[in-house]
Chain A
């Protein structure tokens, strides 16, 4: 197992390097110039040239990339071009906020997906099941930003239960309850699509498991229903469900970045948006690096869980 973990972690290094190179190239190949964006139209060409020199933007791409890599390996992410603030102080708190939103959504997606999927499977083809399948189809296909706006209109503007935007009440004293209230709508919005997918997979997987011969035998032996489900059905239905749940984690992270803009949730998504519009290279690099890292680590965790459940995978 230790060997498996080590192999997976070593595998992360080329992925992260690849991501950082691609992002670096993409930002540099895009037209538009940080110096003009920053100094404004009235700045002289000499001033712009000087700024490009100060920022190292007048050097060749490989030189710029290697310089960035060397600094990053030392833990120096530089200073934001637009705000003059150290990049780490910008990215770290935002990263934490994105993780809060992602894990909040993951929890909602897993709990609701598993519970509803199970209920649906137990009443397969009933009216309830058919209704759930239609709702999940709808929830799975609707774009998250649209769902977000609908939820805001209903729960915040009409019913006035929950706040519209942000992570806490800017005039209040904060606290966990305040964050939870602000988390509710964006987390539900982000969770909706993945929850729908998980529900359908859980249902299919359980229906399949319920029809297996060993379950029929156990039932014939008079095993209690709860015991039957726990020991013979759910465990056997789990592997595909876990794999799909793991894949949803990536989707959740991506979805969270979009939802952040609609709900003004101060995570990496809105930071990325701001930094791209300002061609703020150090911030773009650090933000995408954080996203890539989160994505890769999430995948490792899923692999580990699957390997724990299915020993055959450890050798693969």
Chain B
């Protein structure tokens, strides 16, 4: 009898569960985005990484911003944001920003020159009581050019640089510490660490709540100064497991997923989900070749490695055409990128010949790489390609944080290659990894490549005001670096995003984060 009652109650519970089933309910105008990783701190000055900027971009704005509402631009144009206009002095040293009137932070306090000064004091000015060390460590790529920040009048700010740098505005819009405007009142109220839980900016969406590991909820800012967002709410959900992301999309629990597993894309497209890609991703996947490794001293060996790898095979067979082969060290999301640039095509016979000329036999190389959820398919492919021309590659895999530390510390002489996916929407990024003064520690020229001519040209490029002339110099740099075969550019990812058919107005711009104010959900 007891047993029967138990069985009955079990059956009842199951049927109640089934009966209440599947509301899957999205409220009108709510977008739920399944992300591959949890975001870290929502303090935009003291954080790095694109997955966090995908959230903070909606909440905060800077003096200028990249216009992410256009998919087909080669690089996102820089447009006014909290500064309605700005002038650059003839010597390129002084930037005068005229601030937008009537803008309020989400806490109701006004945005003005004092607020700008407060923010610069926080992430740059070590002598200010508002200075926050952690912020400076993140925003350093932008602040190292700054000499002074002055309030001219309540709506005008003047920033003086130490040397002309025409990539400076763009350098402030990359994914390591962004100089975005945080409400000074909120920092004073909640403290520097408190910004993480109380992120208050001026953007089209306001922060509502964050349940760490579960969701971050934003709602539309109805007092926004510009075109108001269409969505009522955006909910960011970390779903680390790729299969879980796909299941949640199919089940209607999320309407958008990023970093979908390559093998699932065709099937989901077949089921009516929309695939959005962008051909101008601001980064590339590439290999650093180690100039301290004895076997790589000969340029013919480095060239042979470049020629032995079938990049088109990788993007077709492994990435299912959601990637594209890359042959240079400029990311496609910059205006200097040339899609026809190709110094070394796939030529295994030519590679063998070069190795023979160099007198190289039985070459063994160590390749360090991080472990991703993709099972290192690309690296195994490279290992196979190099084996075909007579180079034995030993793959040494490390967990991500361990790998990042090793990569940033520079390769030891016994290691020949390591890899990373990186880039920026400014061509000045090439200098970040190729310059002689970017050797580790402190810099991230992980393979110790150095060519003084490259450094000279990079100095020239950054001080060149005319974008066309600057572009030509960056392209020349790219040519020299590849003539030296200092790196092995591999491919880029077309930033595949899978969307429910209910999502309208989504734009996949040439950047790692999106402007969600144009999106609506039916």
A→B interface (CB under 8 Å): 30-34, 36-45, 47-48, 50-51, 54, 79, 82-85, 90, 93-94, 111, 115, 118-119, 149, 152-153, 156-157, 160-167, 169-172, 177, 180-181, 184, 226, 261-264, 266, 270-271, 273-274, 277-279
Contact = CB atoms under 8 A, between A and B. Distances in A.
B402 interface: yes
Interface string B221-255: 00000000000010101111101100110110100
Specify which of B7, B195, B247 lies most central, judged by the most chain A CB atoms within 10 Å of its CB: B247
B306 interface: no
Contacts of A266: 211, 213-214
Interface string B325-338: 00000000000000
A44 B251 contact: no
Contact of B214 (A82, A85, A161, A170): A170
B197 A85 contact: yes
Contacts of B23: 169, 172
B299 interface: no
A262 B248 CA distance: 11
A37 B404 contact: yes
Contacts of B21: 160-162, 181
A214 B359 CA distance: 89
Specify which of B13, B398, B442 lies most central, judged by the most chain A CB atoms within 10 Å of its CB: B442
B363 interface: no
B170 to A, nearest CB: 15
B193 interface: yes
A180 to B, nearest CB: 6
A227 to B, nearest CB: 12
Nearest to B21: A161
Contacts of B318: none
Given A79-B193, A90-B212, A184-B17, A264 B137 contact: no
A184 B248 CA distance: 16
B32 A164 contact: no
B283 interface: no
Contacts of B43: 84
Interface stretch (B97-105, B309-317, B405-413): B405-413
A33 B25 CA distance: 42
B40 A50 contact: no
B40 A36 contact: no
Contact of A164 (B17, B134, B253): B253
Contacts of A279: 401
A44 B1 contact: no
B409 to A, nearest CB: 8
A285 B10 CA distance: 39
B24 interface: yes
Contacts of B197: 84-85
A152 B215 CA distance: 21
Given A41-B407, A84-B193, A84-B196, 7 more contacts: A33-B405, A39-B48, A84-B41, A160-B22, A164-B244, A169-B253, A171-B26
Nearest to A31: B402
A270 B196 contact: no
Contacts of A180: 13, 17
B3 A115 contact: yes
Contacts of A47: 133, 136-137, 140
B133 A54 contact: yes
Judged by DSSP, the binding face of B is mixed
A36 B240 contact: no
B27 interface: yes
Contacts of A44: 137, 140, 442
A39 B402 contact: no
16 contacts: A33-B405, A45-B441, A51-B137, A85-B196, A118-B3, A156-B247, A163-B24, A163-B253, A165-B237, A165-B253, A167-B214, A171-B27, A171-B32, A177-B16, A266-B213, A266-B214
B75 to A, nearest CB: 20
A115 B253 CA distance: 35
Interface of B: 1, 3, 6-7, 10, 13, 16-18, 20-27, 30, 32, 38, 40-41, 43, 46, 48-49, 133-134, 136-138, 140-141, 176, 193, 195-197, 211-215, 217, 233, 235, 237-241, 243-244, 247-248, 250-251, 253, 398-408, 422, 432, 441-442, 444
A264 B404 contact: no
Contact of A163 (B13, B41, B251, B407): B251
B432 A42 contact: yes
B426 to A, nearest CB: 13
Contacts of B250: 157, 164
A239 B441 CA distance: 62
B135 to A, nearest CB: 11
A115 B17 contact: no
Contacts of B243: 149, 262
Contact of A264 (B233, B239, B406): B239
A40 B175 CA distance: 10
A185 B431 CA distance: 51
A282 to B, nearest CB: 13
Contacts of A271: 212-213
A45 B442 contact: yes
A169 B1 CA distance: 37
Contact of A42 (B176, B239, B401, B403): B176
A153 B243 CA distance: 10
A274 B239 contact: no
A83 B444 CA distance: 25
Nearest to A30: B402
Nearest to B251: A164
A111 to B, nearest CB: 7
Given A30-B402, A42-B432, A274 B213 contact: yes
Contacts of B441: 45
Contact of A157 (B16, B215, B247): B247
A184 B16 CA distance: 12
Contact of B40 (A30, A82, A94): A82
B240 A157 contact: no
Given A115-B6, A161-B18, A264-B240, A40 B138 contact: yes
A36 B404 contact: yes
B196 to A, nearest CB: 4
A113 to B, nearest CB: 13
Interface pairs A-B: 5 shortest CB-CB: A47-B137, A32-B402, A40-B48, A84-B196, A32-B401
A170 B34 CA distance: 12
B247 A152 contact: yes
A170 B196 contact: no
A151 to B, nearest CB: 11
Contacts of B7: 115
Contacts of B404: 32, 36-37, 41
A243 to B, nearest CB: 23
A271 B213 CA distance: 7
B237 A41 contact: no
A161 B215 CA distance: 23
B239 A165 contact: yes
Specify which of A42, A160, A184, A277 lies most central, judged by the most chain B CB atoms within 10 Å of its CB: A42
A177 B17 CA distance: 8
Contacts of A177: 16, 20
Nearest to A149: B243
A170 B32 contact: yes
A85 B239 contact: no
A167 to B, nearest CB: 7
Contacts of B403: 32
